[in-house]
Structure 1
Amino acid sequence: MEKTLIEIDKAAAVLKLLGDKTRLTMIGLLKDGECCVCEFVEVLQMSQPSISQHLRKLRDNGLVKERRSGQWIFYSLNRESDTFSIVESVLELIPEQMDKLKELENKGLRICCD
């Protein structure tokens, strides 16, 4: 399979976004599914406005997409992004984040916004 080259400016922007521990953790949490803001708030122990700011940066750069369900917004990785190959490569190199979501589920908080 032939790899598509990514412009240096785009690659640098993605790597800069993923250079932030919070955003990198968020991307890791989205590896196998979707999460809503309230789940990120619980897992990362940060304020909702702070989480929303990080998600806005990821969304504006095409790394995540959103799906509305009633008043809630669920985020997932944008696998169609032309820079997804960078995200995918980074995800292979960081620890699995599912344990954080399983812990949330065990506390009965997995989808606390329903």
Structure 2
Amino acid sequence: MVDIEQLSDVCKLLGDKMRLTILSLLQERELCVNELVELLQTSQPNVSQHMRKLKAGGLVKEAKKGQWVYYSLNVEDKPYLNTFLQYVPSQKEKVAAISCEQLNCCD
């Protein structure tokens, strides 16, 4: 069961347009930082800052594959968040149009 403080913290994370967009993108598949930079049209330090906050809030997890870091959603234990994310506009077409091969990253 979630308590008020935890829910408040999650709501603060979701209140930022960039972080909400990141979660929406990650609903489609795991993504590397370079893919997120391209999709969000922002800088790598900006994406990394948002990812740190989302990771600290327990909403995303990272997996290292060689020198590259891939991010994915971590909401299995947050059913209220799964329900919320059903109402976030799909980013399926944007995510499908980009890949590490295309960006020449994540060998």
State TM-score, norm by structure 1: 0.84
Alignment partner of 1:35 out of 24, 31, 36: 31
Alignment partner of 1:17 out of 2, 13, 16: 13
Residues of 1 paired with 2:84 and 2:76: CA distance?
A: 16
Q: Does 1:112 align with 2:105?
A: yes
Instruction: Render the CA deviation track for 1:28-82: whole Å, top value 9, x for unaligned.
Output: 111132001000000001100000000000001111011000000000111344x
Alignment partner of 2:94 out of 81, 86, 100: 100
CA apart distance, 1:19: 1.0
CA apart distance, 1:6: 1.2
Q: Does 1:44 align with 2:40?
A: yes
Q: Alignment length, in residue pairs?
A: 106
Contact persistence 1:11–1:86 (CA under 8 A): no
C-alpha root-mean-square deviation of aligned residues, in Å?
A: 1.7
CA apart distance, 1:108: 2.6
- Give the secondary-structure state (helix, strand or coil) at the position aligned to 2:83: helix
Contact persistence 1:41–1:48 (CA under 8 A): yes
Residues of 2 paired with 1:94 and 1:26: CA distance?
A: 11
- Give the secondary-structure state (helix, strand or coil) at the position aligned to 2:89: coil
Contact persistence 2:29–2:72 (CA under 8 A): yes
Unaligned runs of 5+ in 2: none
